[in-house]
Amino acid sequence: MRYDNETVLKAFRLYAELAQRGVVEREGLQLYLADDEVRGLIDQFAREVDCLAMTAGDQLLLIPLVRLSPFHVSNEYLKKTYLHTKAVNADLYLLYVAVIVFVGAFYDSYQSVEPTRDFLPMDEWLGLVQERIEGLKEHDPEQLRKYEKEFSYNWSAIMEKWDAMDDIKETAKKQSGNTISRFSFMNTVRRFLLDQQLADEIGEDELVLTERAKIVVQRYFMELQHNRGILQFLYQFEEDRKNAEKTKEE
């Protein structure tokens, strides 16, 4: 398809803004929605850098689809920006698990399309992460090593990192940001979610999913077989217990 020069320039200016900020609103969103040719070019530009252009509420987003995309947030950036100076991959993977648990808390299963709750208190989120860690411990060590290879996650190191943190909640609020506690770690993950516009605060220590997060979950996260496998793995024992209880009731 051949495009006139004005259309290409419109699309390029819009894509340049999208690439720089990761999101555009108002006029840019309206142009993307109203002009089929501009939208086609934006989508093509996004595919060339292994990204997906998608609308979420009143925003147009640029979502990286693979780790090699130049727009993917690197592990080193996450360590430097959100974790402590001596952070290793296990710290980062624990952050990923906390994010997965946060998202999962809003859905009744990894196959859900719409959220089934409105908000998540911080203390409940911390408790849910604790449940997932305890669930990991129920796996046979040999089976756990098999899953480590399958998902490229060192589950044993993740459990060790979590267990090594001080189990402090109330007093952690008064301590420095460098305190290694579960509460301070969860605050770090919260800051990451807020910075990435995946969560909003609606009250003291209460978080909600943003429209951006819901769209990413529906259009991307839930559709990848690899991510779906991780969710199924993390929640496996909970599902087994639910099925066992259901069988007893019947």
Three-state SS sequence of the chain:
CCCCHHHHHHHHHHHHHHHHHCEEECHHHHHHHHCHHHHHHHHHHHHHCCEEEEEECCEEEEEECCCCCCCCCCHHHHHHHHCCCCCCHHHHHHHHHHHHHHHHCCCCCCCCCCCCCCCEEHHHHHHHHHHHHHHHHCCCHHHHHHHHHHHCCCHHHHHHHHHHCECCCCHHHHCCCCCCEHHHHHHHHHHHHHHCCCEEEEECCEEEECHHHHHHHHHCHHHCHHHHHHHHHHCHHHHHHHHHHHHHHC
Tell me what pLDDT residue 125 has. Answer: 95
Residue 152, number of CB atoms within 10 A of its CB? 11
pLDDT by 10s per residue, the chain, length 250: 678 899 999 999 999 988 888 888 888 999 999 999 999 999 999 888 878 888 877 888 888 765 544 445 677 878 888 887 788 888 988 998 898 889 888 886 656 667 888 999 999 999 999 988 888 888 777 777 776 666 666 888 888 899 988 765 444 444 444 446 899 999 999 999 998 888 999 988 899 998 878 877 776 665 555 455 555 666 665 555 454 455 555 5
Q: What pTM does this model have?
A: 0.72
Tell me what pLDDT residue 177 has. Answer: 43
Tell me what pLDDT residue 26 has. Answer: 86
State phi, psi for 186 to the nearest 5 degrees.
-65, -30
Compute the chain's Rg from CA coordinates.
20
